[in-house]
Amino acid sequence: MTSFKENFVWILLITLCFFSHSSASYNPHRAEPATPKKLLYLLEPPLQVEVAGRRGDNVTLPCILRTKPNHYKIKWTKLESEHMGQQNVIMISNANAFKPYGHVGQRASLQRAHTMDASLLLSNVELGDDGRYRCELINGIEDENIVITLRIEGVVFPYQSKRGRYKFNFHEAKQACAEQDGILSTYNQLYRAWTEGLDWCNAGWIYDGTVHYPVVHPRPVCGGELPAGIRSYGPKDKNHDRFDAFCFTSQISGSVFYIFGSFSYDQAVHACKHQGSELALVGQLYAAWRFQKYDHCNGGWLKDGSVRFPIINPRKHCGGIPEAGVRSFGFPSKTAHLYGAYCYR
């Protein structure tokens, strides 16, 4: 017969196991098993866990073999965040064949700098390529993988409808960013932009259908006395809820220039056309500001009908705000003869 004491210890042990197990399985942030399997074939940690590039660049996502199994395939996959659903296979390759899949596959190849090199070459990087990529070695026995993050270097800009604040449902926000040479920003991009000083007191849609706004200087009208940070409304109804948009763009292949004048909107269109160019998009002006250090203290028309100007070195008579940024006059009357033109060529 077991004593009461022994029984008690057993119950306690079982209870502890139960709790430790259940708390582990309820942790939504648990990314990897506690003790990851030691890899036999793939070099780990990888040479780089994060690779950065700009739109239009060619990048290499490293994946190196330490040992070769006799027969194996290499499979590269783009991992979408959990609530975005499917994972997209980019390519599968064995010793003799290379099969690309989908849109990213068209721009992908294996570097094969040597026999142990399974790194992915991705050419002409696009805004939507930002994210996590898995290199998988498949040999039918013990498949192995490593994950590399590709970070597109770029700039986040808030975008509001010309009809005013909070006019976009999710689909319209996505469209609005596309029309300004951008895409909806990811949470990571918005977070990084906040660390770089983005302070915007209107909530906007991001890529995954959630809504947020970044606050650098807490103030009563922007979420009260909470500390600086990203204020989040979480997921919203993509069809019926309306907000602004946070767009993301990166390097441009052309350049933005200014034409002095006191133009109406239509005159600004013609002024650019006369120079073999078009009025610039908002994303193009932000990209010129960020990547070409474009600084110009005069308001100018953009293609969407807004008037803006980019400032790198803040000065008193240029908007009066002590931080660098792209200033906006909103959407003035298109017949106001007050502004120059920002063109893109």
Ligand X SMILES: *[C@@H]1O[C@H](CO)[C@@H](O)[C@H](O)[C@H]1NC(C)=O
Residues that bind ligand X (CB under 6 A): 57-58, 123
**Nearest CB to ligand X, comparing residues 20 and 58:** 58
CB of 57 to ligand X, least distance (A): 6
d(CA 120, CA 61): 5
Q: Which CB, 154 or 310, lies closer to ligand X?
A: 154
Residue that the structure tokens 């975008």 belong to: 159
Instruction: Give the nearer residue to ligand X in terms of CB position, either 103 or 327.
Output: 103
| Lookup result for tokens 């990811």 | 186
Task: Please identify, using beta-carbon distances, which residue of 58 and 87 lies nearer to ligand X.
Answer: 58
Euclidean distance between CA atoms 309 and 318, whole angstroms: 9
The nearer residue to ligand X, 206 or 252, going by C-beta atoms, is: 252
What's the CA angle centered on 328, arms 323 and 332, to 5 degrees? 160
> Quick count: other Cβ atoms within 10 Å of Cβ 227?
7
- Report, in Å, the least distance between residue 50 CB and ligand X: 20
In a 10 Å sphere around its CB, with 0-12 CB exposed, 13-18 middle and 19+ buried, how is residue 267 labelled?
middle
CB of residue 124 vs ligand X: minimum separation in angstroms?
Answer: 6
Rounded Cα–Cα distance for residues 125 and 310 (Å): 26
CB of 123 to ligand X, least distance (A): 4
Do 64 and 119 form a contact (C-beta atoms < 8 A)? yes
Least distance from C-beta 161 to ligand X, angstroms? 35
